[in-house]
Structure 1
C-alpha cells in the first residue's frame, strides 16, 4: 500500500493544570460541533478524503462488501407483541435499509403493513425506533430516530385505518413508551436545548409527562420531576392491567434506582401523586409485572446475582417477599405469562430459561439450541402463549411461539440462509488474567479451520463496562470474516454484567485497569493456544469498547497487528462535559476529583499515545450525529495519533455522515462500514480472500 499523507491539523497552545500536572490539549478545537463549526467540517472532509482513498484501494474490499451483503440478505422478523386481537411485529425482506412494521389479526390473519420507514429519508437514515401498541391494539405509539441521534420524535398511528394522528412529541430521549388505557401515554423528555446545542449540551432535568391523545404537546401534564435534583433521570412503565404506573429514577449509569408508584385508579382524586416504594439509589429494581396492587421485581438487593421478589401494596404492612432466591446463575429478567413466571438466566454469558409457578413452585426448564442468547418471553397474566428469540454467533435470530401451559415451542419465523450454520464451530473457553482471575471467552471458527489446527488471522472483540454482558449474537460482518478463514473471539471482561455486581465492580473506576489486563490476556491466550497468528491478531470495540481498544493499544502496541476503535470515549479528562457523558462517572469516576483523575490520566487513550513506539494499524470510526459519545473524542484521538511517530502503519479515521452511535443505521451504511473494517484488518493480519479466475479478489 502507498504511504499516507495525513491532513495538516492545527495545534493550539492549550495547557491546563490538573492537580499539579501540566496537561496539553492542542486539539480541543476539534470538540466543536461539525455541523456548526466550518473549520471542523473542513478537517472532517480532508480526513475522510484520505481515508476513503486508502480504503478504496484495499484489494479485499470488494469481496467483503459482496459477502457482507450476501449474509444480510435474508428475511428477518422481530418479536411479535399481542394487543387485543392484533399481533404486531417488524419484518425486513433482507436488504431494506429499515425494517417495516406489520400487524395481523390473529396468528393466521393476513399481514398488513402499518409503518414503512424506508420512505422517511432519501438516505434511509431515519429509523423506526421503539413502538408500543395500546392495551386493546387500537393505537400504536412509536418513536422516530433521525440520523442516528439519541433524540426521538414520538408519534401515534390509528391501527384500524393506518393513518397517522396529529400527535407529536419532541425532545424525548432515554424514554419508555407506556400507555394509560387508550386515552394517552407516559413518556420522558428533557427541556428543549438552546439553539445549536442539541447535539453537545449536557442533559439535565428529565421529567415524565402524560400526553392525552388529540392535544398539543404544550398541554401535556407533568407527572414526575425532581427540580431540586436536575441530574436525576426518570422513566415510566404501566402494569399490564393498567392499575399502576411505576416510575424508576436513576442518577448515573449504575443500576441503582429509586422507585415511585402512581395508582392510576385513583388519578381522578389524587392526580399524579407518586409515593415512594424504594429509596436510596442503592440497588437494581426491574419491574416484572403487576396484578392489581401486587408487584413483582427482579432485584440485586442482598443478592448480587439477582433474585425475584414481590410485594402486596394492600397489606397492612407491605413487605418484600422472596419468590425465587439468588442462584449461581444471573437472573437477567422475568415475565408473567398466563399463570406462570418465565425466568431468563445467564450462565457464563449464555442463556437458559425456566418456567415456574407464581408462588415460586418448581416448573420446567426450556431447552435452547446450544450456546446462544434467548430474549423476549413477553406476555401478560392470562395469556396462553409467549414469543422468544434465540440467536448465536453462527445463526441469526429465530422466533419461537411457546405454549405456556405445556412449554412446547414451535417456530414462528426462521431465517432461510445462504450458508450452513453447522459449518461453524462455537466454543467457550476460559483463560487466566494477569491477577489470576478466570475469564470466559467465546471462540468462533469454521470447522475446517478448527480441524486444520493452524493459527489464523483472528479478530478479538471486547467491551468490559457499565454492567453490560456480551452474549452470543449474529453479525453478517463477522460471518464474512469467518467464511474467509478468519477466527472471531469475544472476551467477557470484568466491568461487564456477566457475573453480577461483583464482576462489574471489579472492572470500573479504580479497578478499570483490570479490564485492560483481561483484554491483553485474552490476546495472549489466543496466540498461546495456536488460534491466532502471532502477527495476525486484530482487536475491535465500540463506545466503552473503543476506549478499551485505545487503552490497550497504548499499553501493548506490540501485541496487535490492527485495531478498530469505534465511537470511543478517548479523552477521559473531559468526557463528563458533553451530552450524556455526565452519567458515566459511575463507571469512570470524576475527572475533577484528584484520586479519580490519577486513575483516568493513567489510561486515557488521548493522553497516553507513546511517541517513538511502533503501533499497529488503527482505524478510528465515528459519526457526525453521535450525541452519545460526541465525535470530538475520536477527532482528537486520531489527530494525536497522526501527529506522533508511531511507525509506518496507517492511523486513519472514518467519519460517517447522517449517522450516530450505532442504532438506526441503515443497511447500506452497515454493509459499507463492515466492508471497510474487514478489508482494513484483513490487510494488516494477512487474511487472504478467494480470487476469481483473473486473480482478483472476488466481488
Structure 2
C-alpha cells in the first residue's frame, strides 16, 4: 500500500500544480491579468499587456514567496481609467493596509509602476469602490467613526461606516459619508453607476434589505458632504447587485445566485413604476449573474440542469439577442465593461480546472486565451456526458460522467461517485483533484451527482408523503449507483462512493440501507449520530440538512436514517474509510470515531476494512500546511480504494 500511497500522492499533487487566473480587466491603455501563483494561495502577479494575446509585462507582485510568515492579499480594484490600482495586504485579514499602485506616471502622485503616498490602515469590510473621475474611492471599515464626525453620525452606523478617500490626502482627512436617519441596517454593498451620476448603497437589516441612491456631482471636487440619499426599494430578505445604467434606467440583479433571481430595471424618471422585470428564469433556467456589455446589452448567466449557459439581451426592449455556445461545465467568473463588446470568462469542467475564453460581441466569436496545464493529464483523451437519473420519488436529478473516450460499457470500469449537495445555482460540474487522479491513475470513471437537486420553482419538499429532503438525498445516492450498474459503466464490486459533511452522512446512511450496491465508501467529516445533534436554535446550520432533534416529529424521522443507530450486523459491508480532523465546527470529530467503533464492534468478521483516518489539527494560518495535509489525505483515500478493490496502477 505504501507504493500506492506515494504514487497517489504524486498524482494528486501534480493535478494541483497550475496557475489560476483571478481576473482580466480591460482598461483604456492596458489589459490587466491577475494570476494566483500555483502552490501559494496568497502569491499574486498582476501583468499588463496591450492586446489580449500580447506580450505580458509584470506590473505588480503581491505576497511573494520571500514574505516572512502568513500573508493576506485582498481583491485588487482598478480605477475606471486604469491609471490606479488599489489593494490591501497584511499578515491577516484583521491587520491590513490599503495602498495604491500606478500604471502610468501621474504628476504630483507617482511614477509608472510606483505607489502613491496614500495609506489606509485597518480592515475594509469589503472591496473598495472608485469614483467615476479617478479622484478617489469609497471604502467601509470595521469599527466606529473617528474623531468629531463620530458624535453627530454614530446613529447612522450599525456596521461598518462608509468613507471617501481622495488621492493625495491623509487617512485622517477622509470624508465620513452621512446617511439619513431612516436608513436602517448595515452597508452590504457600495456602487457608482456606470455613468458616474449615482452613488448606490445596499443596507441590510435584521429582516430586510433596502436600496438607496444619491446623486453625484461630477464637476465638484470629491463628493457631496451630505449626499441626498433616497430609498428606491425594499427587498425583504433578498439582495440587489447593480449591473449598469442605460439612459435614466438603473439595472439590477435581484437575489443573485439564488433561486428565483431576476434582472430588473428602475427608471429614475418614472419612480412610480418601481422595479420592472427585464429577464426572469425561463424554461428550467435560473439566473446566476448579469453584466452590462456593448453599451446597451445585458449578458445573463443562467444555470440549466446544473450547467452554465450565457444569453444576451438588449436594454430598453428586453429583446433576446443570442446565446453564447459553451462546452459542458461551469462559468465561474465574467469580466467585462458596460461600454465594451469584449468579454472574458473563466470556465471550469470535470476535465479542466480553468479555461479562459474571450468573446467578441461584434463578431459573435469565442476564442481560448489560456488553459490550465495539468502535468500528466491529457484532457483530450476523456469526455463528459450528462445524464438524468430517476429518483425513488419520481423526480429526476442530473449526473455527470467523465470517462476515457471509446470505453466499452461492459461493467469492468472502476468508478468513483462524488455526491454533491449544493442546491440551486451554486451546483455545476467542476474539476476534482481526487477525481482526476482516480481517472488517470486507475483508468477509472469519475461521476458527480447532485443528490439534492431541486428543479427551478420547486420547493424541494415531498409534501405528499411528508418525506424529509434528506431522505430523498439518501435515495438518490442509491439510485445513482444503481444507474451506473444497470447501464454497465461498472459493477458494485468496483464502485466507490464519496461524500463530505452533510453528504457524508447521506453516504453512510445509503451504505446502511444498501451495502451490496457499493464496493467502497469514503466518508469525510460526517455527522453519524443524528440524535446527538445540538438542539439549540443557534446551531441551525448543523440542523438544517437533517432536522432538529428537539422537535418530536424530526427526532423520530432522524432516528430512522441516523447512520450510527442503523448499522445492519446481518449484512456484509463494503470497505469504509472515515476521514475526520479535530476541528469541531461543522463536523464534530467524535462522530467518526464512534461510528467506526460501532461498525467494528457489530461487524467483527466483515471481510472488508472499516477504518478511520484523522487529518490532525488544521493550521488556519498556513495554506501550505493545510495543502500538505489535504494532499496526504487524498493519497490515503486513493490508496485505500485501490487496496480494497484490488485496483492496479494504470491498468
Match of 1:490 among 448, 458, 461: 448
Match of 1:177 in 2: 127
Query: Cα distance 1:275–1:325, how it changes in 2: closer, same or farther (>3 A)?
Result: closer
Contact 1:465 1:587 in 2 (8 A): no
In the TM superposition, residue 576 of structure 1 has moved relative to its aligned partner by 7.9
Q: CA deviation at 1:676?
A: 2.6
Tell me the residue number matched to 1:238: 191
Aligned twin of 1:383: 340
Measure the CA separation in 1 of the matches of 2:177 and 2:569.
Answer: 60
Q: TM (normalized to structure 2)?
A: 0.77
Counterparts of 2:648 and 2:397, CA distance in 1: 31
SS in 2 for 1:159: strand
Match 2:21 to one of 70, 77, 80: 77
Q: What's the CA shift for 1:463?
A: 2.3
Q: TM-score, normalised by structure 1?
A: 0.72
Between the aligned partners of 1:665 and 1:221, the Cα distance in structure 2 is: 42
Distance 2:425 2:575 in 1: 28
Q: What is the number of residues matched between the two proteins? A: 595
Q: In 2, distance between residues paired with 1:410 and 1:640?
A: 53
Q: What's the offset of the Cα at 1:257? A: 6.4
- Alpha-carbon offset, residue 73 of structure 1: 3.5
Q: Distance in 2 between matches of 1:438 and 1:226?
A: 48
Of 470, 482, 500, which aligns to 2:456? 500
Which segment drifts farther, 480-489 or 580-589? 580-589
Alignment deviations for residues 109-132 of structure 1 (CA, whole Å, 9 cap, x no partner): 643252343537778x75546443
Q: Where do residues 253-402 of structure 1 align in structure 2 (5 Å cutoff)?
A: 258-263=209-214, 265=216, 268=224, 270=226, 275=231, 277-281=233-237, 285-290=240-245, 294-299=249-254, 306-328=261-283, 329-339=285-295, 340-359=297-316, 360-368=318-326, 370-402=327-359
Report what 1:111 is aligned to. Answer: 57
Task: Specify whether residues 669 and 102 from structure 1 end up closer, same or farther in structure 2 by C-alpha distance, changes over 3 A only.
Answer: farther
1:85/1:546 CA distance change after superposition, 3 Å: farther
Kept in 1, the 8 Å contact 2:128–2:140? The answer is yes
Tell me how far 1:556 sits from its aligned partner: 3.9
Deviation at 1:220, TM superposition (A): 7.5
Indicate whether 1:481 and 2:441 are aligned.
no
Q: Distance in 2 between matches of 1:222 and 1:661?
A: 37
* Superposed displacement of residue 387, structure 1: 0.6
How far, CA to CA, are the matches of 2:627 and 2:126 in structure 1? 25
Residue 611 of structure 2, aligned match among 628, 645, 651: 651
Distance 1:163 1:570 in 2: 54
2:356 aligned with 1:403: no
2-side partners of 1:112 and 1:403: how far apart? 26
Residue matched to 2:471: 513
CA distance in 1, matches of 2:347, 2:506: 28
Partners of 2:280 and 2:37 lie apart in 1 by 43
Q: Give SS of 2:634's match.
A: helix
Counterpart pick for 1:156 among 98, 113, 129: 98
- Give the Cα–Cα distance (whole angstroms) in 2 for the partners of residues 100 and 620 of structure 1: 36
- Of the three residues 631, 636, 650, the one matched with 2:590 is 636
2:499 is the counterpart of 1:541: yes
SS at match of 1:295: strand
User: After the TM superposition, which of the residue ranges 407-416 and 104-113 deviates more from structure 2?
Assistant: 104-113
SS of alignment partner, residue 462 of structure 1 = strand
For residue 79 of structure 1, give the secondary structure of its aligned residue in structure 2. strand
Q: Is the 8 A contact 2:141 2:161 kept in 1?
A: yes
Question: Taking structure 1 as reference, are residues 669 and 645 closer, same or farther at Cα in structure 2, changes over 3 Å only?
Answer: closer
Offset, 1:596: 4.5
* Per-residue deviation, residues 499-529 of structure 1 (Å, max 9, x unmatched): 3341655699943221221122112222222
**2:151 matches 1:207:** no
Counterparts of 1:536 and 1:443, CA distance in 2: 15
Cα distance in 2 for partners of 1:227, 1:652 equals 53
Q: Give the secondary-structure state (helix, strand or coil) at the position aligned to 2:424.
A: coil
Give 3-state SS (helix, strand or coil) of 2:493's partner. strand
What is the CA distance between 1:550 and its match in structure 2? Answer: 4.1
Task: Identify the residue that residue 65 of structure 1 maps to in structure 2.
Answer: 9
SS in 1 for 2:517: coil
Aligned partners of 2:552, 2:562: CA distance in 1, in Å? 15
Distance in 1, matches of 2:63 and 2:595, equals 39
* Residue 445 of structure 1, CA deviation: 1.2
SS at match of 1:478: helix
Measured in 2, the distance between the counterparts of 1:297 and 1:128 equals 29
- How far apart are residue 635 of structure 1 and its match? 0.8
Comparing 593-602 with 415-424, greater Cα deviation is found at 593-602
3-state SS of 2:340 partner: coil
Q: What pairs with 1:518-529 in structure 2 (closer than 5 Å)? A: 518-529=476-487
Cα 1:656–1:338 shift into 2, 3 Å: farther
- Kindly report which structure 2 residues correspond to 1:547-586, keeping only aligned pairs within 5 A, or say none: 547-568=505-526, 574=533, 582=540
Q: How far 1:326 sits from its partner (Å)? A: 3.4
Say which SS state the counterpart of residue 455 (structure 1) adopts: coil
- For 1:3-32, what per-residue CA distance to the aligned partner results, in whole angstroms no more than 9, with x for missing partners? xxxxxxxxxxxxxxxxxxxxxxxxxxxxxx
Alignment partner of 1:402: what SS? strand
CA distance in 2 between partners of 1:480 and 1:60 (Å):
12
For 1:289 and 1:354, the matched residues in 2 are separated by 17
Q: Tell whether the 8 Å contact from 1:131 to 1:143 is kept in structure 2 after alignment.
A: no
Kindly state the Cα deviation for residue 433 of structure 1 after the two structures are TM-superposed.
Answer: 0.9
- 2:90 and 2:273 map into 1 onto residues whose CA distance is 40
Quote the Cα distance in structure 2 between the aligned partners of 1:210 and 1:291: 26
Match of 1:141 in 2: 87
For 2:371, the equivalent position in structure 1 comes to 414
Secondary structure, aligned partner of 1:62: helix
Q: Which runs of 5+ in 2 are unaligned?
A: 103-112, 145-156, 218-222
**1:596-632 C-alpha deviation (Å, 9 max, x unpaired):** 5555555455x646384755444444556x6xxx447
CA contact (8 A) 2:40 2:624 kept: no
Aligned counterparts of 1:685 and 1:246: Cα–Cα separation in 2: 57
CA contact (8 A) 1:638 1:653 kept: no
Tell me how far 1:677 sits from its aligned partner: 2.5
Residues 646-678 of structure 1 deviation map (CA, whole Å, 9 limit, x = unaligned): 435233133254456999986545533432322
Which of 614, 630, 639 pairs up with 1:679?
639
1:462 aligns with 2:415: no
Q: CA RMSD in A?
A: 4.3
Using the TM superposition, name which of 631-640 and 160-169 deviates more: 160-169
Contact 1:91/1:100, CA 8 A, preserved across alignment? yes
Q: For 2:126 and 2:363, how far apart are their aligned partners in 1?
A: 32
Q: After alignment, is 436-445 or 97-106 more displaced?
A: 97-106
Q: C-alpha separation between the residues in 1 aligned to 2:8 and 2:281?
A: 46
Decide whether the 8 Å contact of 2:242 with 2:252 is kept in 1.
yes
CA distance, structure 2, for counterparts of residue 664 and residue 206 of structure 1 = 37
Matched residues in 2 for 1:291 and 1:258: separation?
Answer: 24
